[in-house]
A and B are shown apart, each in its own frame.
Chain A
Amino acid sequence: MTRTAYAPVPTTPVDEVALEARAAELCSRSIKTTSKRAALHLAIRCMDLTTLEGVDTPGKVSSLCRKAIRPDATDPSVPSVAAVCVYPEMVAHAAATVAGTGVAVASVAGAFPSGLSDLDVRCDDIRSAVVDGADEIDIVLNRSAFLAGDLARVHDEVAASKEACGDAHLKVILEAGELGGYEPIRRASMLAMAAGADFIKTSTGKIPKAATHATALCMAEAIREFAQREGRSVGFKAAGGIRSAKQAWHYLVLMGETLGTGWLTPDRFRLGASSLLNDVLLQLAKLDHGRYGGPDYVTVD
């Protein structure tokens, strides 16, 4: 793939008040019975089951992978998640565990979570994760350069990372909570997509200011604009602070209403989360048994 050259990206102004009102309206919708079960299954199929801790061990990654393949040991009708998301160090181990199951391996790479190291070092990090078996690479946007106004550098770094990915999918994390407003988020989204991102992602999950539904809507609108203008469909990944099944289906509603049902597939929509899966499983158990469960009835991850 040829690297795209930087060209200033158009940024549509954002009406903050209307954006937040629209996001709040979409998230007030409730989903019941059969639709609820379908939404919960879809949320699982679109999930990047994540562990990004300093204390991750091969054993912990193994159990995460097994849970990714078969989320509910008692119910084979519950689908596998889309991918497991781990640190580069754990990629080879994760790839060996999920091989042949349809679950992909995603890896954060490129000096996650700050993204502030030499570009060559970051690209090497990406290449080695891909060699180890990563199907998808999550990098962080260079917020330092972005906030300093050096958009050309941000663009070129994403483009270089895309090149380093080879066949692997590239997800670009904007860390929306640190960009300082909806308009910068929209600009960063357009920039990342123009530079070749396959997915744009809200947050690293490593800062207290997690992504909001309004942020997600802002990014989804950027994806829609980019698809209309350039004819390329870029995916969206929500991450950071998504713990409840309710939050998850709010994201589904948001995507469906903004981008259409074509985006409600694992190819174009992901939820990055660690504790979300247990809450979804508890909700499914409630639908099955009519009783509320509790943390004692799901695995301790």
Chain B
Amino acid sequence: MSGHLPVDKTFKLFIGGAFPRSESGHTFQVHGADGQFLANAAKASRKDLRETVRAARSAQSGWAGRTAYNRGQVLYRVAEMLDARADEFVDLLRNAGRTPRAARREVEQSVDRWVWYAGWADKVHQVLGTVNPVAGPYFNFTVPEPTGVVVQAVPDDPPLLGLTSRVAPAIVTGNTSIVLSGAGSALVAMSLAEVLATSDVPGGVVNVLTGDVAALLPWALGHLDVNAVDLAGAPDDLPDEALADAAENVKRLVHGNPDDASPMLVAAFLELKTVWHPIGR
């Protein structure tokens, strides 16, 4: 008979590369599809969000300053690490009610998607960038640039593929992401945070806040130092004032399906800059 005492995991937040508790001290219980208690998770407060925006902002220029090739390598590394921990994620998805086969399939699809977006890192500029015809002796280029700090309300279903499909296209071009994850995806999101923390992703590039997404979103929409908000996993009944607040600093609001996979989704988190340059002789 084994004398091993089971160690139940208590999940924390992922901010700036570290795993702190919520400053509020609040937690919530996560239950499986069969109603069984799975784990406690940290319930992020608006002050956690404020600190996270600070961390994401300070990480952004360094991440955007990496070469596209290097960012692709880092995303590929995420796929490697996720694949190495596939069994753990299969268990998590089964707890959420997936069949073994469906759970395995979602993990595999997610690994494939990280690899797919890793490839886009140094190709998206060729697809979205243009040389524009102009009536004058100028070169006229349009080049994509990352928009900055992106807050992403991730879908509860599918938890892992949804998270991957929203975060990878946002960060691949040099944005930093703040994931807001509700009870349905909290454990998967925090487990993915553990993968990201060991995958050469610089601290602050992806941050994960678990808790009440509907309560945190208005603060994110109103925050003047956030450049875009991804509403793919947002509740439908967001207050109009919150959306009006988002217009204050002309935030990008991105809508979409939980498991979209498209270079146009990469484009949704980009600004297009047009440059005029005189043709020299």
Question: Complex Cα distance A297/B53, Å?
Answer: 15
Cross-chain contact B248 with A292 (CB below 8 angstroms): no
Is residue A291 contacting chain B, with contact meaning CB distance below 8 A? yes
Q: State the CA gap A294–B245 with chains docked (Å).
A: 15
A291→B249 CA distance, assembly (Å) = 12
The range of chain B's interface size is 10 to 19
The verdict on A290 contacting chain B, using a C-beta distance below 8 Å, is yes
Q: Taking the complex as formed, is A25 at the interface, i.e. its CB lies under 8 A from any CB of chain B?
A: no
Chain A residues closer than 8 Å to B248, beta-carbon distance = 291
Write out, one digit per residue, whether chain A residues 255-294 have a CB within 8 A of any chain B CB (1) or not (0). 0000000000000000000000000000000000011111
A293 CA / B248 CA spacing, docked (Å): 11
CB distance from A49 to the nearest CB of B (A): 22
Question: Whole-angstrom distance between the alpha carbons of A291 and B222 in the complex?
Answer: 6
- By a CB distance below 8 angstroms, the chain B residues around A13 are none
Most buried by B among A290, A291, A292, A293: A292
Binary A-proximity of B31-44 (CB < 8 A = 1, otherwise 0): 00000000000000
Q: Is B94 an interface residue (CB 8 A)?
A: no
A295 on the interface (CB 8 Å rule)? yes
CB-based contact B219/A292 at 8 Å: yes
How far is A297 from B226 in the complex, measured between Cα atoms in Å?
12
Measured CA separation A293–B245 after assembly (Å): 12
Query: Does A15 sit within 8 A of B, measured CB to CB?
Result: no
A residues in contact with B249, CB < 8 Å: 296
Closest to B149 in A: A294
Q: In the complex where A291-B245, A291-B248 touch, is A296 in contact with B222 (Cβ < 8 A)?
A: no
Tell me if B225 is interfacial: C-beta within 8 Å of chain A: yes
| Highest count of chain A CB atoms <10 Å: which of B50, B53, B224, B225 | B224
The answer to whether A294 and B53 touch across the interface, beta carbons within 8 angstroms, is yes
Which B residue's beta carbon lies closest to that of A297? B224
In the complex, how many angstroms separate the beta carbon of A234 from the nearest chain B beta carbon? 36
Closest to B46 in A: A292
Question: Hey, what's the 0/1 contact readout for B48-87 against A, CB within 8 Å counting as 1?
Answer: 0010010001000000000000000000000000000000
- Inter-chain CA distance A85–B223, complex, in Å, is 33
Q: Which residue of A lies closest to B49 (CB)?
A: A292
In the bound complex, do residue B57 and residue A295 qualify as a contact, i.e. CB atoms below 8 Å apart?
yes
Most buried by B among A290, A294, A297: A294
CA distance A292 to B57 in the complex (A): 13
CB distance from B149 to the nearest CB of A (A): 9
- Chain B residues in 8 Å Cβ range of A293: 224-225
Q: B214-261: which have CB < 8 Å to A?
A: 219, 222-225, 245, 248-249
Q: Write the nearest CB–CB distance from A27 to chain B, whole angstroms.
A: 14
Within 8 A of B (CB), among A80-108: none
Contacts of B50 in A (CB 8 A): 292
The chain B residue sitting closest to A285, CB to CB, is B224
User: Which residues of B are found within 8 Å of A291, using beta-carbon distances?
Assistant: 222-224, 245, 248
Q: Smallest CB–CB gap between B248 and chain A, Å?
A: 7
In whole Å, how far is A249's beta carbon from the nearest beta carbon of chain B?
Answer: 15
Distance between Cα atoms of A296 and B60 in the complex (Å): 14
Give every chain A residue within 8 A of B245 (Cβ-Cβ).
291
Q: In the complex the two chains form, what is the Cα distance from A296 to B249 in whole Å?
A: 10
Give 13 A-B contacts (CB < 8 Å), ordered by A residue: A290-B222, A291-B223, A291-B248, A292-B53, A292-B219, A292-B222, A292-B223, A293-B225, A294-B224, A294-B225, A295-B57, A296-B224, A296-B249
Given contacts A292-B50, A294-B225, list 18 more A-B pairs with CB under 8 A: A290-B222, A291-B222, A291-B224, A291-B248, A292-B53, A292-B219, A292-B222, A292-B223, A292-B224, A292-B225, A293-B224, A293-B225, A294-B53, A294-B57, A294-B223, A296-B224, A296-B249, A297-B224
